[in-house]
């Protein structure tokens, strides 16, 4: 029997992924491989919606692929590829651009967030339309599920709307994908500002735990995380966002519930919790960092994995694109 397909992507816009990316999405990428047929991509075309240095972008694309392999994405079971290596993504995006209403695109809150700093007038049209390219990324593979963090829910809704519109205007072509969002880790918060999401674009360095940080630096960031003045370790996301965020990360890395972990610290302070979490994080990132470096030391092997992934993805994507072109009258 065919395994249900899953698809997801991540932008190569930093030297390292962070714990929000990992716990919100990438950990699920790895877990879903057993029972599904995954397509996972490094979305370099999304990265150029804001200015990038070409050399840095190319290096970050490699670093992204190496981190995914290091955390357990298995090229034998998953097609791991780079978006720009499969031209069908940009080709389908154009068709979908032409069935998206301008007002519909304008409602995407991520554009408002991401263009806030430079101002809407200076932001690229690519940044404005990137959710439509993302819809193309997904729909080409007709996946059942898309593992992502909470911030992607609105884009998944747009994807489903466009799929439905195309299917009814032309002929049933696309599968309507479901978001796969694990509530417990759907939103990891900034360590210094624990009501805002941990984000590579918005967080300060102290607020973000990178997977490839020096483990000593990560430990220090955890010990300096913002908590509250109550000095009672309890899981209560509304009243105690800082401590609860630490407990969420602790829970995700150990498999124990956050309430159960909190109970261990009865009558003890935040310092003990932070110290223990720092140890857990260091034990997790140290081997991951070593594996990533080893993978980066063999570019030919990385190229081979990505070429194989693009060939497998391209085959599926080309078939969908051929159906689409036929249906629109090309
Ligand atoms: P960023 O938001 O840091 O720019 P991306 O947009 O590349 O990162 O997101 C990659 C994946 O990580 C997406 O599935 C996104 O939903 C998820 N993600 C990003 N930040 C967080 C977070 N703080 N908590 C949970 N998931 C997150
Ligand atoms: Na994001």
Q: What are phi and psi of 41, to 5 degrees?
A: -135, 155
pLDDT digits (tens), the chain, 330 positions: 689 999 999 999 999 999 999 999 999 999 999 999 999 999 999 999 999 999 999 999 999 999 999 999 999 999 999 999 999 999 999 999 999 999 999 999 888 888 888 888 899 999 999 999 999 999 999 999 999 989 899 999 999 999 999 999 999 999 999 999 999 999 999 999 999 999 988 889 999 999 999 999 999 999 999 999 998 999 999 999 999 999 999 999 999 999 999 999 999 999 999 999 999 999 999 999 999 999 999 999 999 999 999 999 999 999 999 999 999 999
Q: Which ligand is nearest to the CA of 200?
A: 1
Residue 110 contacts residue 177 (beta carbons within 8 Å): no
Say which residue the tokens 């489903």 belong to: 160
Residue from 21, 111, 156, 198 to probe ligand 1 pocket by mutation (most atoms less than 8 Å from CB): 21
Which residue numbers are catalytic? 114, 197, 200
The secondary structure of 56-75 as a DSSP string is HHHHHHHHHHHHHHHHT--T
Rounded CA gap, 42 and 67, in Å? 11
Residue 116 burial by Cβ neighbours in a 10 Å radius (0-12, 13-18, 19+): exposed
* 197 CA from centroid of ligand 1 (Å): 9
**Which structure tokens are listed for 218?**
């990560």
* 89 CA from centroid of ligand 2 (Å): 19
* 8 CA from centroid of ligand 2 (Å): 12
Rounded CA gap, 30 and 21, in Å? 13
Q: Which ligand is nearest to the CA of 203?
A: 1
Coil vs helix vs strand at 255:
coil
Rounded CA gap, 141 and 317, in Å? 6
Q: ipTM of the assembly?
A: 0.94
**Ligand 1 close to Cβ of residue 149 (< 6 A):** yes
**Angle at alpha carbon of residue 244, lines to 69 and 223, rounded to 5°:** 75
Nearby residues of 317 by Cβ (< 8 Å), 6 or more positions away: 86, 88, 89, 92, 140, 141
């Amino acid at each position: 029997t065919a395994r249900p397909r899953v698809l997801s992507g991540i932008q190569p816009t930093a030297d390292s992924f962070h714990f929000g990316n990992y716990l919100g999405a990438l950990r699920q990428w790895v877990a879903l491989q057993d029972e599904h047929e995954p397509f996972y991509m490094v979305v370099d075309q999304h990265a150029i919606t804001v200015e990038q240095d070409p050399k840095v972008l190319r290096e970050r694309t490699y670093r992204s692929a190496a981190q995914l392999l290091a955390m357990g994405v298995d090229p034998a079971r998953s097609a791991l590829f780079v978006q720009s290596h499969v031209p069908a993504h940009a080709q389908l995006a154009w068709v979908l651009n032409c069935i998206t209403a301008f007002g519909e695109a304008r409602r995407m809150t991520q554009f408002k967030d991401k263009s806030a700093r430079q101002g809407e007038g200076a932001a690229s049209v690519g940044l404005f339309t990137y959710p439509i390219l993302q819809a193309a990324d997904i729909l080409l593979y007709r996946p059942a599920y898309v593992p992502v963090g909470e911030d992607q829910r609105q884009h998944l809704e747009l994807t489903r709307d466009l799929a439905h519109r195309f299917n009814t205007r032309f002929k049933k072509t696309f599968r309507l994908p479901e978001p796969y969002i694990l509530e417990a880790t759907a939103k990891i918060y900034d360590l210094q500002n624990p009501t805002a999401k941990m984000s590579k674009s918005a967080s300060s360095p102290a607020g973000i735990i990178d997977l490839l940080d020096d483990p000593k630096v990560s430990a220090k960031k955890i010990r300096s995380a913002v908590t509250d003045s109550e000095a009672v370790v309890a899981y209560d996301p509304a009243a105690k966002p800082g401590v609860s965020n630490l407990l969420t990360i602790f829970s995700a890395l150990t498999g124990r519930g956050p309430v159960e972990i909190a109970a261990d610290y009865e009558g003890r302070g935040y310092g003990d919790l932070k110290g223990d979490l720092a140890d857990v994080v260091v034990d997790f990132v140290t081997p991951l960092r070593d594996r990533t470096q080893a993978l980066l030391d063999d570019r030919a092997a990385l190229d081979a994995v990505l070429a194989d992934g693009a060939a497998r993805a391209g085959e599926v994507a080309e078939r969908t694109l051929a159906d689409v072109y036929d249906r629109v009258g090309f």
